[in-house]
A and B are shown apart, each in its own frame.
Chain A
Amino acid sequence: MANKLNLEVVTPTKLVVSDEVDLCTVPGTEGVFGVMANHAPILSTLKIGEMHYDKDGNIVRLAVSGGFVEVSANRMTVLAEAAEISEDIDVERALRAKERAEKRLQEAESGREDIDIARAKAAMARALTRLKVAGKPS
């Protein structure tokens, strides 16, 4: 029995991770869950959040948003609209995005109706996740 899990993180623009890992934790819609080798097949959608994987004791963090994860036969595939490893995150861009989202949410509260609140909130969540992941280097 293999005791490593083959992990692939794929986004529309690139293959972010392709590696043999010991443990991978992802933010599922129904809650965060961890996957180790020989996990039962599972298909779950993902929330905007932080995922991390552990390879020989090294923990790598990623910020992911939108997508799903599939595990079968010791292969784990994460399909996300965006996924960035902590070191690759553009902190300044995330900060700007956060400020923009904050401003939009404030404006929406003070009565502007042309703002898509759900979208602003999602943008906020993405920015916050990126900052959180970038702020804690592994």
Chain B
Amino acid sequence: MASLKDIKLKITGIKKTEQITKAMNMVAAAKFRGAQERMEEFRPYAGKFSGVMGQLATRVDPNAFPLMEERDVKKSMVLVVTSDRGLCGAFNANIISAAENFIDEKKGEGKEVAVGCIGRKGYQYFSKTDVEVPIEITDCMARIEMVDAKKAGQECIRLFLDGQLDEIYLLYGRFVNVVTQKPTLKKLIPISATELSEVGEETEEEKSGPKAAYIYEPDPEEILNILLPMFVNVQIMAAMLETACSEQAARMTAMDNATRACSDMIHELTLAYNKARQAAITAELMDIVGGAEALKG
């Protein structure tokens, strides 16, 4: 049995850990609110954007746009959005294992696979494996800027148009609620016209409003040519914002669990400590009583 002093030391140590995890939980909670706000602020922009895209997509011939061209797939890429920092439970591990599943599946179909990384955790993992990593953007999740999303988007578009990649998927941590974050796979390029018109229909105003004949300036084809690359950026941006939000939520849960585990351990150790103390006192008493008896006799 551990000595009294050992147990005491252990209790102090765990109490300190508990303080740290509690503080991290609170920091994550504050950051989570910020991330959620940013995610919500982005929503009207993304929603409106998809609405207009969907509306345009129904008016043009999808084969005329290189970004919408469906090719025979020889090589595909998955753009993995993870967090920059750890200590958020299995959040990044879940995303990475979903990426691994994707890679195995595509390799099983006899295709080549590359991985693009947004967020340091994903890069740390994939740079050590033998898959090719053509895109690497790290240290961007603390403050998400359109510039980073744009950088990734432009690179994706370039690789696709050069013919180096035939399809690009986006994998990110979708925010379901504070306790659930789900790795989600979404096709990024080629942009499918049918999918676009589906998202386009979601906006309610369009449904209720009269279907008016628009004046297009310049013509629909040219507008779409300008908007398609922007649409890619918008989708990456949305994925980044959502991952950041999920990350903080995951950290909150992880730290909450850690704090709880700490208090459980402290409780158990305190019991053991008290028991040990009692045993020591009893032993001492026995000694004294024994000594007194011996003197008497």
A residues neighboring B (CB under 8 Å): 10-15, 28-30, 33, 40-45, 66-68, 70, 72-73, 75, 77, 79, 81
Contact = CB atoms under 8 A, between A and B. Distances in A.
B242 to A, nearest CB: 13
A44 B234 CA distance: 18
B75 interface: no
A43 B227 CA distance: 12
A43 B217 contact: yes
A99 to B, nearest CB: 19
A33 B218 CA distance: 13
A29 B217 contact: yes
Contact of A73 (B49, B146, B210): B210
Contacts of A42: 214-217
Given A68-B223, A68-B227, A72-B209, A10 B214 contact: no
A10 B215 CA distance: 21
Chain B interface residue bracket vs A: 20 to 34
Contacts of A43: 52, 56, 214-217, 223
Contact of B52 (A40, A70, A73): A70
A28 B44 contact: no
Nearest to B149: A12
B125 interface: no
A45 B45 contact: no
The A interface, classified by DSSP as helix, strand, loop or mixed, is strand
Contacts of B234: 12
Interface in B216-248: 216-218, 222-223, 226-227, 230, 234, 237
Contacts, number: 73
B45 A28 contact: no
B72 interface: no
B213 interface: yes
19 contacts: A10-B44, A12-B45, A12-B237, A15-B44, A29-B217, A30-B217, A43-B214, A43-B217, A43-B223, A44-B215, A44-B216, A44-B217, A44-B223, A45-B222, A68-B52, A68-B227, A72-B212, A73-B212, A79-B45
Contacts of B209: 72-73
A81 B214 contact: no
Contacts of A33: 217
Interface string B30-62: 000000001001101100110010001000000
The 3 A-B residue pairs with the shortest CB-CB distance in the complex, in nearest-first order: A44-B217, A41-B212, A42-B215
A67 B150 CA distance: 14
A30 B222 CA distance: 12
A81 B49 CA distance: 11
Nearest to A73: B209
Contacts of A41: 212-215
Contact of A81 (B52, B56, B146, B217): B146
